[in-house]
Copies of this chain bind each other. A is one copy, B any other.
């Protein structure tokens, strides 16, 4: 494969994660190590920044800032939920992206995101091809949801689970101490369609005493009657009950058990915005079981908890970022880097690659045998899958004030060259 000299652009998309910046760091440092890549630009707020040519020069940031990305949560380059549609509907935008790349001699495009982002990256590659513009496009997997096809797991998931499991464990100790008063607690996990997060965090349940005592995921239709029975039985046995529930619990007919209405009920991708599963379950427990119930909703804290991240996850996030660059420099394009689990004992992974279009159209759900027959807790199989992903601590720098210190980009702007564009 011929060498391709030019600049690289990297962008982040979708919901932040604790380690998406570690992937960014992998991309940037590997670009810096490469002879072919002259500079690394960042798209501010994902593809939005490319469209409006809001681009900054990451190579001008200090080495310390770039290195600090390995321990900074959320998306330092900014993220977005701007949805590009089919080639037919959004051709103007895809063309614009290629035009911006051309204007800056950007020959490498690294997009860190989930399946929607892989779809965007795939279509950008197509349009570049139609334009006879040599562009190497690589996807870097990212999502706390762990629902991407073709990869054993996704960077972001391990840290999400490590933190949430710890939160459930610690909340469980509260209920254990105060069960004579607050006998039940519901912890709400993220997870719109897939139960990976709730199931993952359920590994906190090491013994019968340990929370969570009951776990509910979107893949298994939620039955109010069954739920009340589960809670009553657990309460009878232990005198308390801690429940871990995914936000996207659904009845058997594809309806979320708690749908919001109103202006902001759907996000830009058409996904229904959820909230309120914890409140709903609390209300059921108080009414139907007759015990007082609290609820905790960690919300966005759970996907940015760098102060207690998984070192395995941080390192793998870096690996997929750096590998994307290595493969692109070697001539690869149109792939997302995947993680392949080579073995559990000792835990070993290697990287592979999957066609962007295959990832874009896939969605990976929690296997049924990761949950018990009753559908209210995880199995050993699930535990074996999850545990290697949450191992290792990644201590952060603590400032003199006792709080973590996380880097920020200065964002040195790149001069605009591609003309105006209205989005």
The closest CB in chain B to the CB of A175 belongs to B300
Residue A151 is within 8 A (CB to CB) of chain B in the complex:
no
Q: Which of A343-393 contact B (CB under 8 A)?
A: 387, 390-393
A217 to B324, CA, bound (A): 48
Contacts of A403 in B (CB 8 A): 162, 165-166, 169, 203-204, 390
Residue A143 is within 8 A (CB to CB) of chain B in the complex:
no
Given the known A-B contacts A390-B402, A401-B390, A403-B390, are A170 and B74 also in contact in the complex, defined by CB atoms under 8 Å? yes
Chain-B contact segment, one of A31-39, A92-100, A114-122, A306-314: A306-314
B178 touches A80 (CB 8 A): yes
- Give per-residue flags for A60-99: 1 if the beta carbon is below 8 A from chain B beta carbons, else 0: 0000000000001111101111100000000000000000
Contacts of A279 in B (CB 8 A): 279
Contacts of A248 in B (CB 8 A): none
Given the known A-B contacts A294-B300, A307-B170, A310-B402, are A180 and B45 also in contact in the complex, defined by CB atoms under 8 Å? yes
A63 to B262, CA, bound (A): 57
Of B16, B178, B204, B387, the residue contacting A15 (CB under 8 A) is B178
Q: From residue A58, how far is it (CB to closest CB) to chain B in Å? A: 15
A25 to B180, CA, bound (A): 23
Of B203, B299, B300, B307, the residue contacting A308 (CB under 8 A) is B307
Contacts of A177 in B (CB 8 A): 12, 16, 74-76, 78-79
What band does the interface of chain A fall in when counting residues whose beta carbon is under 8 Å from B? 35 or more
Residue A174 is within 8 A (CB to CB) of chain B in the complex:
yes
A262 to B287, CA, bound (A): 10
Contacts of A16 in B (CB 8 A): 173-174, 177-178
Given the known A-B contacts A16-B174, A391-B401, A401-B391, are A408 and B300 also in contact in the complex, defined by CB atoms under 8 Å? no
Residue A213 is within 8 A (CB to CB) of chain B in the complex:
no
A295 to B278, CA, bound (A): 13
- Give per-residue flags for A383-416: 1 if the beta carbon is below 8 A from chain B beta carbons, else 0: 0000100111100001011111010100000000
The closest CB in chain B to the CB of A167 belongs to B301
B402 touches A392 (CB 8 A): yes
The closest CB in chain B to the CB of A203 belongs to B401
Contacts of A2 in B (CB 8 A): none
Residue A185 is within 8 A (CB to CB) of chain B in the complex:
yes
Chain-B contact segment, one of A103-111, A251-259, A263-271, A315-323: A263-271
Contacts of A301 in B (CB 8 A): 167, 170-171, 187, 296, 298
Residue A181 is within 8 A (CB to CB) of chain B in the complex:
yes
Contacts of A402 in B (CB 8 A): 162, 310, 312, 387, 390-392
A171 touches B81 (CB 8 A): no
Q: From residue A43, how far is it (CB to closest CB) to chain B in Å? A: 12
B178 touches A79 (CB 8 A): yes
- Give per-residue flags for A268-304: 1 if the beta carbon is below 8 A from chain B beta carbons, else 0: 1000000100010000001000001111111111011
Residue A189 is within 8 A (CB to CB) of chain B in the complex:
no
B74 touches A406 (CB 8 A): no
Contacts of A297 in B (CB 8 A): 295-297, 299
Residue A147 is within 8 A (CB to CB) of chain B in the complex:
no
Q: In the complex, which of the residues A165, A182, A262 has the most CB atoms of chain B within 10 Å of its own CB atom? A: A182
Q: 7 A-B contacts, Cβ less than 8 Å apart?
A: A73-B173, A80-B181, A166-B403, A185-B299, A391-B402, A392-B402, A393-B398
